A and B are shown apart, each in its own frame.
Chain A
Amino acid sequence: MVDSSQYALLCALIPLIPLIGFAINGLGFRRISKGLAGAIGSLAAILSFGLSLYLFNAFLDNGSNPIRVELFNWIGVGTLQIPFAFLIDQLSLIMLLIITGVGSLIHIYSIGYMKHDEGFGKFFAFLNLFLFSMLLLVMGSNYPMMFIGWEGVGLCSYLLIGFWNKNTNYNNAARKAFIMNRIGDLGFLLGIFLIFFTLGSVEYTEVFPKAADTFAVDETTVIAITLLLFVGAMGKSAQIPLYTWLPDAMAGPTPVSALIHAATMVTAGIYMVVRSNVLYTLAPTTLAVVAVIGLATALLAATIGILQNDIKKVLAYSTVSQLGYMFLGLGVAAYSSAMFHVMTHAFFKALLFLGAGSVIHAMSDEQDIRKMGGLRKYLPVTFVTFLIATIAISGIPPFAGFFSKDEILMHVFEHSPLMWGLAVIGSMMTSFYMFRLLFLTFFGTFRGTKEQHHHLHESPATMTLPLIVLAVLSAVGGFIGLPQLFGGGNRLGTFMNPLFDLSRQVRPESFNETHLSHATEYLLMGVSTGAALLALVVALVMYVSRKAVPVSEGTRLSPVQNLVYNKYYVDELYNAIIVKPLMVIGDFLYSVFEFLVIDLIVNGVGKAVKALSGVFRRFQSGAIGFYIFAMVIGIVVILLLNLRSFIL
């Protein structure tokens, strides 16, 4: 048994260790050797993972009661009291294990991947800082603490996207990510303000019961709160309309894409919605919005993914699409299913990105799949693990993605068969573009240059080892949430059940036990699996049998292809309606306002002072007699002023 003071130490240490790692590498990255920097960074992540596991066991021993640890009082103004406190419950523990577990693997992988980079120590410092912020985000016991973590991960994302900061495009991508996230953050912040304004607290343990008492179902205030919070989630988790930053974020090193832009940070939005499930359950209107946006994002990103030729861009759109599925799951109040998908997605998407990194490493930084092909022979480990991840993400049983996606799809079907149909089409597209990627990369003949061909090699053990671990997790990770249909009893769902007690109270009808017959469930699984397999066969015929290769740059495409290939011109649209007008206003302010107001007033004040002082300084003649005379006159004047009642 662990007592409360030990809990406090444990909870404090989990985020503190990566912070210490950040401090060591961040301050000393010029002096610390690469081997040591990598060891410190990875060790910090692994230690954190070990402590999280220990905490998990202690939590189970303790009867799965939520643990609240208060470290100190952080902000106290009037009625607003915000303690620096951690809340450990089922949700934060699952996130903790995902973050530190996948994080550790990616740290180890980075030792090999970043070996030749000058900014090695800096890279590990940023990764550790990211871990710290992310842990704070999921462990905090109130919204402001989530917000610090939320901002911290945004900062790290910015720093790591622009990690190779000598490239202007990368810097622009970093800025874009930061600004888009800020737009979302504003919504999140306003949501927090509204929560405090209406409920008088920001502490989870106080907000949720109060909300359940105060709000009626679908009251305007609760809809406003949830919508504002969801705006934050849109930014962080790349949903329409704020999704365009994520594909650009691929400018960062590949381990960063795996850790931040696939496995952990982008799922912060889902974490936040699940954490606030009471509020969302109270607002069915918001849930409908969430579901529609999730579905639209899933479909839109999937169609774009089909025509991308950059290995990382395909994966990026696939991430956006999978996040869309998670929000679709949240939108139909299937919170635990969405978390299940977060978990399996973390495994297979991290694996896909790391596999892609291994390919890019072997191809001497080439990312265009048109120049790859036939890599199966040269990168056997990468190929097998990538294959497993592809099967997992496509939703083919019995790999992880099948169970989580199927659970979401089943809940969607109960909610609305039409949405289910669209979601299955989306998952078919997922399967298609993933196998297209796999076939183009690993099958056929090599299409790159001779030099690249000569250089092809399997990655070192530090890189393949995480791949293998993640491949195992992607293969068997789904069994933790094995549905009742297969006699599994959905252990993950049962584990997370207490989180939704309050939601169940406020609106029991949204948590009805599944009323689908087993035959229907089998049918649904059959359809989605069949769709995935069909897409697999189509991709197989197109890219293996017929050896089709995407046309090279500059070839004329049909209008539809052109539209999709150019990502529906969304970036251009945003440019035209938001960026350009802002630039025009900025130019106007610079040329007119700056000249008339700033220059005239500010410079005018400066010039006036200078002119006056030119006159007054002449009084300082250096003649002592004059000073004394002035002093005496001054004294006499003061005296007269004070004694004027006697004199007059």
Chain B
Amino acid sequence: MDGIPGVIQTIPLNYYIFFSTALFVIGIVGVMVRRNALIIFMSVELMLNAVNLLLTAFSAYRSDPAGQVFVFFIMAVAAAEVSVGLAIIVMIYRNNRSVDVGILNRLKW
């Protein structure tokens, strides 16, 4: 029982799966039911992190560092994505004086 993989392995793998699934579903539901663009954005981040958690857990159980390396990449890309996404939301706010996605229904036939 040494090192971080050892610590992670003190909890059974199934728990990680249940927890990640719960986080992911919360994210989905958040995206689907909320209308505030910021909250939707946070829910997307929640989904991303659910996946990250699962990747780390599998990586530790399989003693394969590739999963954790992958997580770093996801985090870096997510950070970039956040900056773009937030900029978009700022622009939406400037144009509409609101971040309610219900107003944004102009992208249609």
Contact = CB atoms under 8 A, between A and B. Distances in A.
Interface of A: 617-618, 620-625, 628-629, 632
Contacts of A632: 28, 32
A620 B109 contact: yes
Interface string B71-107: 0000000000000000000000000000001101111
A632 to B, nearest CB: 6
A628 B32 contact: yes
B108 interface: yes
A625 B108 contact: no
Interface of B: 28, 31-32, 35, 101-102, 104-109
A624 B104 CA distance: 7
A443 B108 CA distance: 88
24 contacts: A618-B109, A620-B108, A620-B109, A621-B105, A621-B108, A622-B104, A622-B105, A622-B106, A622-B107, A622-B108, A623-B102, A623-B105, A624-B101, A624-B104, A624-B105, A625-B32, A625-B35, A625-B101, A625-B102, A628-B31, A628-B32, A629-B32, A632-B28, A632-B32
A617 B28 contact: no
A617 B109 contact: yes
Closest 9 CB pairs of A and B: A622-B108, A622-B105, A617-B109, A624-B101, A623-B105, A620-B108, A622-B107, A620-B109, A621-B108
Contacts of B106: 622
Contacts of A629: 32
Nearest to A622: B108
A621 B32 CA distance: 16
Contacts of A622: 104-108
Nearest to B106: A622
A620 B105 CA distance: 10
B96 to A, nearest CB: 13
Nearest to A632: B28
B87 to A, nearest CB: 18
Contacts of B107: 622
Contacts of B31: 628
A42 to B, nearest CB: 65
Contacts of B109: 617-618, 620
A620 B108 CA distance: 5
Contacts of B101: 624-625
Contacts of A628: 31-32
B53 to A, nearest CB: 19
Contacts of A620: 108-109
Contacts of B35: 625
A620 B107 CA distance: 8
A629 B33 CA distance: 9
A628 B37 CA distance: 13
Which one of A618, A621, A623, A624 has the highest number of Cβ atoms from chain B below 10 Å of its Cβ?
Answer: A624
Contacts of B104: 622, 624
Given A622-B104, A623-B105, 9 more contacts: A617-B109, A620-B109, A621-B108, A622-B107, A623-B102, A624-B105, A625-B32, A625-B101, A632-B28
Which one of B31, B32, B104, B109 has the highest number of Cβ atoms from chain A below 10 Å of its Cβ?
Answer: B109
A628 B31 CA distance: 8
